[in-house]
Structure 1
Amino acid sequence: MSDRRIRIGAGAGFSGDRIEPAIDLLEHGELDYLAFECLAERTIGLAQAARQINPDGGYDPLLDARLRAALPVARRNGVRLISNMGAANPLAAARATTRIARELGLTGYRTAAVLGDDVLDLIMARDFPLIDREGTSRDLGSSVVSANAYLGVAGIVEALSLGADCVLTGRVCDPALFLAPLVHAFGWLPDDWDRLGQGTAIGHLLECAGQLCGGYFADPGVKDVPDLARLGFPYADVAADGSAVFGKLESAGGLINAATCKEQLLYEILDPAAYLQADVVADFTGISIAEPAPDQVKVSGATGRQRPDTLKVSICYEDGFIGEGQISYAGPGAAERGQLATAIVRERLRMKGMDTSQVQFDLIGIDAVDRREACPAHHPREVRVRIAGRSDTQDGAEAIGAEVEALYTNGPMGGGGVSRATRKVLAVASTLIDRNLADPRVKIEVA
């Protein structure tokens, strides 16, 4: 193996993430690659709904702003970009990126769209058992909005081999955005399970961006994190054997240490000994974590074994409506008046024939999150009543907010600041398909 090292940065950990830390990395991080991870479970379903309204839409809403800021710096510093911002429409995203590159004068900029994750036609044509609830895909009927398979690195690696400066995917396994450039750069074989396992660990540590630098970690007086308002995003220096040293820009806020890495390593992991990915079953149980210097963490020792024969598919489907209403009470007896308000609305909804088992009644600050028991000695000066529930019909959902609003003159004294909303519910179910039923394809657009 070569002594060459690859530096990969994290540019986003979710669709609405900040842009500035990614630009700082592009400017000052001496990167080879920067990956933006922007898809959550339901994001692609929302994107598919947007594409139904506009056939040229369906990609990440921040793609334009991100890439207008990132492309000139990435081009100047020779950094290749990888992202799942393609969401429900990677080809439209690639064309939009090409248009942006032309407007910025970046002649010859090559953007690749990785296609093949959209398996909606397959799911609608056949019947697949669901793995996270009872029933099959056919039970979801016409409510299905999208179905996308979690692809691995193959399409991204092909795009990089074709000289893409920017690679935009739809649904892929999150760590694959970071694993793919390692496979490309180091020539790792598709059955080099241990290196693929180690590369998956690297990707998992980077995929949530700011979390590795102390975001979602800070707990004042217990786990203090400096300068969170200027939180930076991490990068990893990766060797050909898959070992990596993680760091951040010296000028960036936050911190990287063994504790932040351990928390992120276990984040959203069901079984650390068997982290199922499209490319490998990764095993994190043998990982070694060391701190060679301040804000540097060396990670090694992840392994892997043969990849699964199946791919996970996320099926997004419409599942009724959510109605919500909120109202505030303040002063002496605020909590008691809030409790009376919830009792009134509960009874009113029952009078209308609603199933209140699907309605949640909260006093924010008392029982909205910690439901073990309300603190009897707690006499807050103010409470916010929040009542929200699901209904099969829009009218049923709207009734919840309407009953909360009616508390103005039909409830306890002093209620104010009512808000109400109704929205469609986009739910997610999962199934497995034979991996050969998904066919990654690459299309290149040139500015």
Structure 2
Amino acid sequence: MPSGVRIGCGAGFAGDRLEPAVDLVERGELDTLVLECLGERTVAAAALRARDGSGPGYDPLLRRRLLPLLGPSARHGTRIVTNAGAADPLGAARMAAGLARDAGVSLRVAAVTGDDVLDRIDRSAPAWEDGLPLEAHGELVSANAYLGADALLPALRGGADVVVAGRAADPSLFLAPLLERLGWDPRDEHLTASGTLVGHLLECAGQVSGGYFADPGVKDVPDLANLGFPLAEVGADGSAVITKLPGTGGRVDTMTVAEQLTYEVTDPAAYLTPDVSLDLTGVRMSPAGTDRVRVAGARGRARPDRLKASVGHRAGFRGEGEISYAGPGAAERARLAGEVAVERLGGRVRTRVDLIGDTSGGSGECRLRVAGIGPDRAGAEAVEEEVTALYTCGPAGGGGVRTRSTEVIGILSTTIGRDLVEPVTTYVGKGAQ
């Protein structure tokens, strides 16, 4: 059993940078690299893409992420764990195995499925957001339970080099490799809490190394353009050091770690995950060298009886239009244009009007943005049409129109019984039998 493990985060959301992950694998001496790429709306959008055939059910950037990573990860013995499978983990795993085969790299790839519970969700269950039944919000397009580390462990114990899941909880992506490599008992609430703390600190990638933290003149961060993504050195006792690679931009200190510690935490004494109820109130942070912070003191209590589920529903259509005005009286003309557009729309959609740029009445440029949301696409397209018509229907001097309309996917939260969620591990590529 190793005395410690090095685990890094190469992505904190679907659109994150690609290069820092490669740097972590090449120089980080990592056991595991985690790519956390899934948000609530991300998986719902993926489900719609898969349904209408407009794109893959997995993260569209996953191919580009994996291409430069598979060779180095095989060479350095670094496993990759990701939730970028979104609504199609099996399809994503097959794609990854194909990339490895084409590159001449021998990797065992596993897909973890079972988070899709659209056919099992209780549609009469109340949504956390407003207490109304899920079914009262219109057509449901997705429902995904948050899988925990126990769903990922079989793939890791089965020797997978790449594990692709769907809606696995963010910290669980990190906890599972720690449980497997360090031989921790998942029933040990202290160690599970310690591993979950590490996952929570790393899960947003560059946030903890200074990215989202940066605020010029208040919280300065050096070389932000070359921000290094974080890694953790985790001991068998659950203690950990949060750090980043030398020579990268950003900063890791008690301030950046403390800010990430409280990120998205409603109750610091009971941060609920599929694996544990995490108590952060006793966490201690101390400097351990340049860009190194030691963390300890997480406590855990029994995991929740039910799993959180994220539910996507059709919530109407949004239309947007922008047009610019410049020169003397630009702001007054932009303001009048907005009033005309809203009057013409006549309440067909809920509207919002914004003036961007020089609104002081000077001679600079002022850009008008009109947005409207309604139950059907026709209302959204009406916003586009009315803003475009301002070219010649006044006021004077409008130009640079841009418009678009999109479907709005709403997100609701509820819970589902653990007995209704059945994770499955499927191997593809090398040793798929």
TM-score relative to the length of structure 1: 0.92
Q: Deviations over 1:319-339 (max 9, x none)?
A: 110000001122222222222
Higher mean displacement: 11-20 or 325-334 = 325-334
Q: Residue type matched to 2:386 in 1?
A: E
Tell me if structure 1 keeps the 8 A contact 2:6–2:234. Answer: yes
Aligned partners of 2:39 and 2:247: how far apart in 1?
30
Q: Deviations over 1:16-48 (max 9, x none)?
A: 111110000100011110000000111111111
Tell me if structure 2 keeps the 8 A contact 1:327–1:415. Answer: yes
Note if 1:258 corresponds to 2:254. yes
Aligned partners of 1:149 and 1:127: how far apart in 2?
17
Corresponding residue number in structure 1 for 2:241: 245
Higher mean displacement: 417-426 or 192-201 = 192-201
> Unpaired runs of 5+ in structure 1?
367-374
Corresponding residue number in structure 2 for 1:354: 348
Q: How far did residue 52 of structure 1 move?
A: 1.6
Note if 1:149 corresponds to 2:141. no
Q: Residue type matched to 2:336 in 1?
A: L
Note if 1:49 corresponds to 2:48. yes
Q: Residue type matched to 2:315 in 1?
A: D
Note if 1:14 corresponds to 2:20. no
Instruction: Find the residue that maps to 1:182 and give its secondary structure.
Output: helix
Aligned partners of 1:399 and 1:380: how far apart in 2?
30
Instruction: Find the residue that maps to 1:42 and give its secondary structure.
Output: helix
Corresponding residue number in structure 1 for 2:301: 305
Corresponding residue number in structure 1 for 2:355: 363
Aligned partners of 1:384 and 1:291: how far apart in 2?
47
Matches within 5 A, 1:336-347: 336-347=332-343
Distance 1:111 1:55, change over 3 A: farther
Q: Residue type matched to 1:9 in 2?
A: G
Aligned partners of 2:220 and 2:51: how far apart in 1?
45
Corresponding residue number in structure 1 for 2:366: 383
Q: Of 316, 324, 338, which residue of structure 1 is paired with 2:312?
A: 316
Q: Deviations over 1:340-378 (max 9, x none)?
A: 12111121112xx425xx211111248xxxxxxxx9x67
Corresponding residue number in structure 1 for 2:276: 280
Aligned partners of 1:338 and 1:82: how far apart in 2?
50
Tell me if structure 2 keeps the 8 A contact 1:56–1:92. Answer: no
Q: How far did residue 381 of structure 1 move?
A: 1.9
Q: Of 88, 100, 116, which residue of structure 1 is paired with 2:114?
A: 116
Instruction: List structure 1 segments (4+ residues) > 6 angstroms apart after TM superposition.
Output: none
Corresponding residue number in structure 2 for 1:369: none
Q: Deviations over 1:160-207 (max 9, x none)?
A: 100000111000110101111111122222221122122111111101
Higher mean displacement: 323-332 or 130-139 = 130-139
Q: Residue type matched to 1:139 in 2?
A: A
Aligned partners of 2:257 and 2:326: how far apart in 1?
43
Instruction: Find the residue that maps to 2:119 and give its secondary structure.
Output: helix
Aligned partners of 1:309 and 1:378: how far apart in 2?
59
Tell me if structure 1 keeps the 8 A contact 2:10–2:36. Answer: yes
Aligned partners of 2:92 and 2:136: how far apart in 1?
32
Corresponding residue number in structure 2 for 1:430: 413
Corresponding residue number in structure 1 for 2:156: 160
Tell me if structure 1 keeps the 8 A contact 2:332–2:361. Answer: no
Matches within 5 A, 1:26-105: 26-54=25-53, 57-105=56-104
Note if 1:335 corresponds to 2:335. no
Percent of matched pairs sharing the same residue: 52
Aligned partners of 1:220 and 1:57: how far apart in 2?
39
Tell me if structure 1 keeps the 8 A contact 2:306–2:416. Answer: yes
Q: How far did residue 379 of structure 1 move?
A: 4.7
Q: How far did residue 73 of structure 1 move?
A: 0.2
Q: Residue type matched to 1:202 in 2?
A: V
Tell me if structure 2 keeps the 8 A contact 1:205–1:212. Answer: yes
TM-score relative to the length of structure 2: 0.95
RMSD of aligned alpha carbons: 1.8
Q: How far did residue 54 of structure 1 move?
A: 4.0
Corresponding residue number in structure 2 for 1:371: none
Q: Residue type matched to 2:186 in 1?
A: P
Q: Residue type matched to 2:348 in 1?
A: M
Corresponding residue number in structure 1 for 2:205: 209
> Unpaired runs of 5+ in structure 2?
none
Corresponding residue number in structure 2 for 1:132: 129
Count of residues in Structure 1 that have an aligned counterpart in Structure 2? 430
Q: Residue type matched to 1:155 in 2?
A: A
Aligned partners of 2:141 and 2:235: how far apart in 1?
42
Tell me if structure 1 keeps the 8 A contact 2:123–2:133. Answer: no
